[in-house]
Amino acid sequence: MWRPAAAASLAAVSLIKAAGSRETALRRIAGAMHTATSTARTPATHAQAASAVRAVRRAAWFSPARTACLEESAAVVLLLALGRRSVIWCHGVAPDPVRLHAWITTADGIAVAEPASTSAYTPVLTIGDHRDTA
C-alpha cells in the first residue's frame, strides 16, 4: 500500500534537493516541510508514522540517489501529508564531534523509529507544530 507513494516521496525529496544550488538545499527542504505539514489536518499516530518510516526505508534501498536521515525524514513527512497526517520534522546537532541528524516525532514528542542515541541531538529546527522554529 505505501510502496509507490514512499518511492514517489523519496523522488520528490531528491528533486527538491537537486532543484538549485547545494548551499540552499536545506532551505528548499525546510520549505517543502512547511508546505507539507500545513496541509495535514490530523496528527499521525505512532504506528502510522512508524509504518511510513519503514516504507520509506524500504524504498530507499532501491533509490539511486543519496538517502540518509535528511532524505528519509523529509520523505516520511511528505508521505504522511499525502494522507493529511502530520508529524514533526526535526533537524538537530550533537557536539564533540559535531554531528547533524534529521528525524521525525509524533505530536507527543516521541521520536519515531530512532535509536536512543537520537536524544543526544538538540533540535535546532522543528517544523510541523505550533512550536515551529525556522
pLDDT tens readout for residues 20-79? 999 999 999 999 999 999 988 899 999 999 999 999 999 999 998 889 999 999 999 999
Torsion over CA of 36, 132, 115 and 47, rounded to 10 degrees? -50
pLDDT tens readout for residues 99-132? 999 999 999 999 999 999 999 999 999 999 654 4
- Indicate whether 121 belongs to any domain: yes
User: What range does the domain containing 37 cover?
Assistant: 3-127
- Indicate whether 132 belongs to any domain: no
Number of domains in the chain: 1
Q: How far apart are the first and last CA of the chain?
A: 33
pTM over 0.85: yes
- Indicate whether 61 belongs to any domain: yes
- Indicate whether 134 belongs to any domain: no
Write down the H helix ranges in the chain. Answer: 3-18, 25-39, 46-60, 69-82
- Indicate whether 9 belongs to any domain: yes
- Indicate whether 133 belongs to any domain: no
Phi and psi at residue 126, to the nearest 5° = -125, 135
